[in-house]
Structures are given as structure tokens and as C-alpha cells.
Amino acid sequence: MSGTPVFNARGLAKTYQMGEVEVHALRQVDLDLHAGEFVVILGPSGSGKSTLLNILGGLDAPTAGTVQFRDHVLTDADEKALTQYRREHVGFVFQFYNLIPSLTAYENVALVTSLATETHGTTPADPAAVLKLVGLEARMDSFPAQLSGGEQQRVAIARAVAKRPDVLLCDEPTGALDVETGKLVLKALRDANREFGTLTVVITHNATVASMADRILKLRDGQIISDERNESPADPESLVW
């Protein structure tokens, strides 16, 4: 892929000191991620997936190496700059949905879009349009407790993409869901990626989920062991696992 990457990571390492033992969560990771890509990072539990995602999202710092987001060197940024970076440029989707229980689906999304307008003047998406994109047009006035796990995750996706981030970082977004529900969540991510052209990074330990990506990065023991382009990404609705 040509053009300036959105992320450029070089020589990333993360080491934890556990008493006498050093845990190498990441070792010598070099990575370029480009606008519009739908990237899956695939690896077994403990391979360093969350560590890598958290570093890209400015939630964690590497022990060595650099991460550049466009012109900003994240690894030189202070806490205040990282908070601003996350707020303005990153959408996060985690395994658990973290919706505000006292607000409807629509209000959960609208809260984020109104904050985005106030704080950094970008033009966020219309909450109703994004909820429609993730297949929840009929559930906009429901409260989280009235929605299934998969529906709540789709509200969380709508909330994350509605502020029009440059990158959407998803840590095991289908980890808590059954297969059928998981498919709808993956379809929502895929549709949002295609609609807005947002660089989307999804981490999973499930190889079937990876087959819907444009690009599959495999992580083992903190290292990228393969980086492949997928010319014919699977339709999320056709996945079986």
C-alpha cells in the first residue's frame, strides 16, 4: 500500500519485570498501518495483542521504540497530549460495552457527538444514521438493559465511529458474544469501515474472524510472524466458527 501511513511503529518493545522474571509482551515490532484498511491482529492469548493495541491508542507506553501517528510522535507525548490524541482521533471498542445505563441507545451516541463538536470542532456523524448503519434503527430509544449483548456492542460501535475518528481500535469485540450475534457485530464494523473509510484494527484469537479482514497480522510471543494481504475478504455474515 502506498502513501504516508497513519501509524508508523518502529522497534516496539514492552517488557514487564515480574520479580526476577522479565515478561516480553512485545519484541521488536515494526508496523505501518494505512488509512481505510480493515486490519485483524490474530494471535493466541498472551501473544501481546492488547499491549500493541493499547500502545497505538495512547493508553500504554512501550519500553522501547517509537510510534508515530501522522506527524505526532506518540512516544514523546505527555499525558495531556495523549488524552487529546485519544479524544480527537481514536475510537475504542472493548469486549464489554461500557454504555451509560441511564441513557438510550440514541443518547449514548449523541452524547459523544455533541462533545466532539464542542471540544474539537469536527463534524461528527448523525447519531441516527450511524445507529441505522449498525442495524439498530428500530432500537434507538431502548436503554442498554433492554438490548442483547450484541445490540449493546453495536451501540458501542456506533458511539465509537460517530465522532469520525481516524482509527477505530477494537479489542476482542466479539469475545463475549455467540456466533450469530458476533457476525452482526463484525458486519457493523465492516460496514462502518466501508462507509467512513476509517482505519479499523480488530484483535482476535479467532482465525475465522480474521478471514474478513483486508490484512491479517499474526502475533506470537510478542512478535509479528506474518503480515498478509487478503484479496478476497469474507462476508462477515457467511462466517462459521
Q: Return residues touching ligand ADP (CB under 6 A).
A: 16, 18, 23, 25, 43, 45-51
Sheet harboring 215-220: ordered strands across? 90-93, 167-171, 199-204, 38-42, 215-220, 223-229
Q: What is the DSSP letter of 85?
A: H
Asked if residues 187 and 237 have their Cβ atoms less than 8 Å apart, the reply is yes
| By CB under 5 A, residue 204 contacts Mg ion | no
Residue number, 86 or 205, with CB nearest to Mg ion: 205
Residue number, 49 or 163, with CB nearest to Mg ion: 49
Round to whole Å and give the CA distance between 171 and 192.
Answer: 16
Residue 25 touches which member of ligand ADP, Mg ion, none, C-beta under 5-8 Å by kind: ligand ADP
Residue 16 touches which member of Mg ion, ligand ADP, none, C-beta under 5-8 Å by kind: ligand ADP
Residue number, 14 or 89, with CB nearest to ligand ADP: 14
Residue number, 113 or 200, with CB nearest to ligand ADP: 200
CB of 172 to ligand ADP, least distance (A): 8
CB of 31 to Mg ion, least distance (A): 17
Round to whole Å and give the CA distance between 175 and 153.
Answer: 11
CB of 94 to ligand ADP, least distance (A): 12
Site for Mg ion in 48-87 (CB under 5 A): 49-50
How is residue 196 written as a grid cell? 467512513
Scanning 8-16, 44-52, 111-119, 218-226 for contacts with Mg ion by CB under 5 A, the matching segment is 44-52
Residue 149 touches which member of ligand ADP, Mg ion, none, C-beta under 5-8 Å by kind: none
Residue 23 touches which member of ligand ADP, Mg ion, none, C-beta under 5-8 Å by kind: ligand ADP
| Size, binding site for Mg ion by CB under 5 A | 2
Nearest to 207 by CA among 26, 40, 37, 38: 40
- Give the DSSP per-residue string, 100-135: -TTS-HHHHHHHHHHHHHHHH---PPPHHHHHHHTT
Residue number, 49 or 154, with CB nearest to ligand ADP: 49
- Cα–Cα distances (Å) from 1 to 4, 34, 59, 198, in that order, read 9, 7, 27, 16
Asked if residues 219 and 201 have their Cβ atoms less than 8 Å apart, the reply is no
Give the length of the chain.
241
Residue number, 60 or 88, with CB nearest to ligand ADP: 60
CB of 28 to ligand ADP, least distance (A): 15
DSSP bridge partners of 44: none
- Residues forming contacts to Mg ion in the complex (CB under 5 A) are 49-50
